[in-house]
Amino acid sequence: MGFYFDQTRCVGCFTCCVACKDWHDVPAGPANWMRIACLEQGEYPNPFVAYAAVPCYHCAQPACADACPAGAISKREGDGIVVVDRGECLGESVCGGLCREACPYDAPQFGAEEDPRMQKCDLCLDRWREGKRPICVDACPTRALDAGPLEELRARYGPQRECPGLSWSEKTGPSVVVRPKTRNSSGGAPWK
């Protein structure tokens, strides 16, 4: 399973982030299963602004799972969703968050509680069971997100896997399809 992000439609409203925190009951604080990175480039009056939605991309070779000393992280058979067994996680105070260090996208998250166990996006496993898509996908006001089997996403949206704010990792192989925003697709000030 993978994730689709249409960067040309993202207005940086953070609805996906808030919907995620509400659905998974994650308090305000350092743990954010879905993050929005804001990029700003260029000089006035030709700025370029783009947002990148950064959940867990459920990589083909998840570096977090390889890095975990307790074997608490696994990639599920079949759907390929990368999950953490929080009961097995040793906690940030023991291992220092090796999974987070290994992940090119900082997907593994640790809360503000004492000796936090790792938590992260599970692509809303509970919602797939009910036949629903992830909460972020169903929340996005501009319909910029989708999720599903990677091959289906590629067939529907094309082969692109990089956009400003998201580099494709050869090592881990993130399960992501994007529609990138470019200067041509967005604007600037042609009169200059």
Partner 1 sequence: MTGRKEEVVTTMCASHCGGNCLLKVHVRDGVITRVETDDGPEPQLRACQRGRALRQRVYDPGRILHPLKRVGERGEGRFEQISWDEALDTVASQLKRVRETYGPISILYLPMAGDLGVLHSVMVGHRLLALAGGYTTWWGATSFQAGLMSEYYTFGTICCSNSRDSLLHSRLIIAWGWDPAKTIQGTNTTWYLARAKEAGTKIVAVDPFYNETAAAFAREWIPIRPGTDAAMLIAMAYVIVEKDLQDRAFLDRYTVGFARFRDYVLGVEDGLPKTPAWAEAITGVPASTIERLAVEYALAKPAALMAGIGPGRTAFGEQYHRAASVLATMTGNVGVLGGDAGGRAWVSVVGGYPYRVGLGSGLPFARNPIDDLATWDGVFLGKMHPRIHYAKMADAILKGRAGGYPADYKLALIVNCNYVNALPNTNKTVRALKSLEFIADVEQHMTATARYADIILPSSTYVEREDIVPGAVNGYYGFQRKIIEPLGESRPHNEIFKALAERMGILDYDTQGEEERLRSAVAKARIPDYEAFKEKALYWVPRSGPYVAFKDQIEDPENHPFPTPSGKIEIYSERLAAMNDPLLPPVPKYIETWEGVNDPLARKYPIQLVTPHDRRRANAQFDNLPWLREQLPQAVSMSKVDAESRGIKDGDMVRVFNDRGETRIQARVTSRIMPGVASLPEGAWYDPDEDGVDRAGHPNVLTSDEPSPGGAFPYNSVLVQIERL
Binding site for partner 1 (CB under 8 A): 8-15, 17-19, 21-23, 25, 27-29, 36, 40, 42-47, 49-50, 132, 135, 138-144, 186-191
Closer residue to partner 1, CB minimum distance, 39 or 90: 39
Closer residue to partner 1, CB minimum distance, 44 or 170: 44
A 10 A CB-CB count for 143 gives 10
Q: What are phi and psi of 5, to 5 degrees?
A: -135, 120
* Least CB distance to partner 1 at residue 29 (A): 7
- 167: which residues sit within 8 A by CB, 6+ positions away? 104
Specify the residue for token string 């083909």: 60
* Least CB distance to partner 1 at residue 9 (A): 5
* Least CB distance to partner 1 at residue 28 (A): 3
* Least CB distance to partner 1 at residue 5 (A): 14
Closer residue to partner 1, CB minimum distance, 15 or 74: 15
Closer residue to partner 1, CB minimum distance, 36 or 90: 36
- Is residue 35 within a helix (H) or strand (E), and if so which, with residue range? strand 35-41
* Least CB distance to partner 1 at residue 192 (A): 9
Closer residue to partner 1, CB minimum distance, 9 or 117: 9
Task: Name the nearest CA neighbour of 166 among 1, 31, 2.
Answer: 2
Structure token pair of residue 111: 């809360």
- DSSP for 99-151 reads HHHH-TT---B--SSSSPPPB---TTHHHHHTT---HHHHH-TT--EEEE-HH
Dist CA 12 CA 38 (whole Å): 8
